[in-house]
Amino acid sequence: MTRSVSALALLCILLLPHRLGAQERRPAGPRKLRAVSLRVLQETIQQAARPPAQALSLGGITRIAGYVVDEKSRDLVLLGEADPSAPGIRTADLAVALRYAWRQYGVIRGRVRYYTAPGCSIDPDPGVIQRLSEISERIGAQQPTEDIEAAIREWEAACETPQKVRVMGVPRNSHFANVMVDADYLLKHLADGSVALNLPGITPLSDMAMAGIQQEISQGRPLSMPVMSLNRFWFYPGPNRYAEEKGIVLITECPVILLTEEQHLTRAGVKGTGRPDPLARQFAASFSAHYAQIAKKERIYSQLEQLFRLVALASIVKFRNEPVNLKYLLDRFPATSEEVAAALPGLSNVKHAAWQQPVERGTDLVGEYETVQNWEVWLPSCGGVNMDLRVKREHFYRPKGEKGKQVRRTRDSTLRARPSPKSLSWDVRLD
């Protein structure tokens, strides 16, 4: 004879605005680099009625490595990898990064001009979050399954309410802004499990929560997870390092990392608690550690990394006051062409699991019996970028020994390989 009792567990994971962040470390220098003259690049675009694709795609560079100063040609030569299988970099994105570094995107309020790091945020309305909180309390109360399923449908409808898209620090009608927003939006899908990466070491936040609940139940422990968990994720620059020698700077470290903070709802809106939720922190750390693998599978994150590297490059050039004329890219190049959506649909992905677990065995007047507990778990979820990358003197270092020689050889090989002062781009083979 089997007797049963019922129990319900609920965790509501709300993925709130992300900002952006940093990237993975790679060994110094591939065996071949693509060099692109910024002086010739500007002249080519300025003089052509229809600029060639090579000029609009930064000479085919797909990963920024640094630059060389060509004093003889009064030029700044960009260096980078040129991988035909990787997403390209737009010259327009370089122009946006330069204009940010030269502080052209300030916002005037009153008599004060304010500057913000490039970033984005997809914001749910606080009223929607309040509504979700009320629905979660109804779902969390033990009640018939059909009532819970009705409440889940209400949850999904509320989740899909459009969320406001904010862009900071750069024009919202730019490819630069669209990459940030697309990367942020995809992160919500990856965290709630509605898009699967299928990569070892990467588990969606919703799956981690479900596994934690099942483990606590199977071990007979009370559920430690809150009924409703609000977490903000944002991409942010990790520690940057730049190798320098006379006439050359190479970006040796410019990682993108994912950060998180637990949120709570107040009368004034959603506020941060100043601390991360343990599961959200675990998800963010795993995402950061596997960023390179994720970027190979989801190309938007490769594009996002290059935006970080462009911001680093532009900031380095400005910081070092390099002798280069960037007037066309800074003032006249048409860097805006595509508008970011004003709002995007909220996301909802409901996970459900049901199982029985024996809790007691014994004998009574009728005979032997077993009491089981019927568990049903619903995990509804509802889904910025911050490139606050500030170049400082301590970020630069002079490599010693063989590494220093390698940097100097890269500089010399770049200048020797230049076919002529009028060359837009050329390949540099490293010994």
User: What is the Rg, in whole angstroms, of the alpha carbon atoms belonging to the chain?
Assistant: 26
Q: How confident is the model at residue 352, as a pLDDT?
A: 55
Instruction: Specify the length of the chain in residues.
Output: 431
Residues paired with 4 in a beta bridge: 372
User: What whole-number distance in Å separates Cα of residue 262 and Cα of residue 274?
Assistant: 7
User: What whole-number distance in Å separates Cα of residue 361 and Cα of residue 400?
Assistant: 71
Identify the residue with better confidence: 325 or 353. 325
Banded model confidence at residue 189, pLDDT cuts 50, 70, 90: confident
User: What whole-number distance in Å separates Cα of residue 223 and Cα of residue 9?
Assistant: 8
Segment of 49-53, 139-143, 250-254 carrying the highest mean pLDDT: 250-254
HSE at residue 121, side-chain half, CA atoms within 13 A, is 13
Task: Pick the closest to residue 258 from 280, 236, 232 (CA basis).
Answer: 236
- Crossing angle of helices 175-192 and 299-320, rounded to 10°: 130
| Least confident interval from 104-113, 315-324, 372-381 | 372-381
- The pLDDT tens digits of the residues spanning 160-180 come to 888 889 999 999 999 999 999
Does residue 333 have a pLDDT over 50? yes
Does residue 361 have a pLDDT over 80? no
Q: What percent of the chain has pLDDT over 70?
A: 76
Does residue 372 have a pLDDT over 80? no
Across the range 134-149, mean pLDDT stands at 70
Q: Provide CB contacts within 8 A for 349, sequence distance 6+.
A: 192, 193, 194, 206, 380, 381
Beta-strand pair 12-16/381-382: parallel
| Least confident interval from 103-112, 281-290, 366-375 | 366-375
93 token code pair:
């994105």
Q: Provide CB contacts within 8 A for 140, sequence distance 6+.
A: 8, 10, 227
Segment of 109-123, 336-350, 412-426 carrying the highest mean pLDDT: 412-426
Across the range 77-102, mean pLDDT stands at 96
| Least confident interval from 198-212, 261-275, 291-305 | 261-275
431, 409 Cβ separation under 8 angstroms: yes
Across the range 402-417, mean pLDDT stands at 96
Q: What percent of the chain has pLDDT over 90?
A: 49
Amino acid symbol at 114: Y
Segment of 208-212, 286-290, 376-380 carrying the highest mean pLDDT: 286-290
Q: How confident is the model at residue 31, as a pLDDT?
A: 76
For residue 196, count CB atoms less than 10 angstroms from its CB and return exposed for 0-12, middle for 13-18, buried for 19 or more. exposed
Does residue 154 have a pLDDT over 90? no
- Looking at every residue in the chain, the average pLDDT score rounds to 82
- The pLDDT tens digits of the residues spanning 13-24 come to 444 444 443 344
User: What whole-number distance in Å separates Cα of residue 318 and Cα of residue 428?
Assistant: 25
Banded model confidence at residue 1, pLDDT cuts 50, 70, 90: very low
181, 122 Cβ separation under 8 angstroms: yes
Residues paired with 354 in a beta bridge: 376
DSSP 190: H
Does residue 29 have a pLDDT over 60? no
- The pLDDT tens digits of the residues spanning 208-265 come to 777 777 776 677 666 655 555 677 788 999 999 999 999 999 999 999 999 887 644 4
216 token code pair:
């606590």
User: What whole-number distance in Å separates Cα of residue 248 and Cα of residue 51?
Assistant: 28
Q: How confident is the model at residue 146, as a pLDDT?
A: 77
191, 232 Cβ separation under 8 angstroms: no
Q: How confident is the model at residue 414, as a pLDDT?
A: 97
Q: How confident is the model at residue 179, as a pLDDT?
A: 96
| Least confident interval from 49-63, 208-222, 300-314, 355-369 | 355-369
pTM exceeding 0.85: no
Q: What are phi and psi of 385, to 5 degrees?
A: -135, 140
Across the range 356-374, mean pLDDT stands at 64
Task: Pick the closest to residue 137 from 264, 8, 261 (CA basis).
Answer: 8
Banded model confidence at residue 419, pLDDT cuts 50, 70, 90: very high
Identify the residue with better confidence: 358 or 42. 42
Banded model confidence at residue 28, pLDDT cuts 50, 70, 90: very low
User: What whole-number distance in Å separates Cα of residue 344 and Cα of residue 331?
Assistant: 32
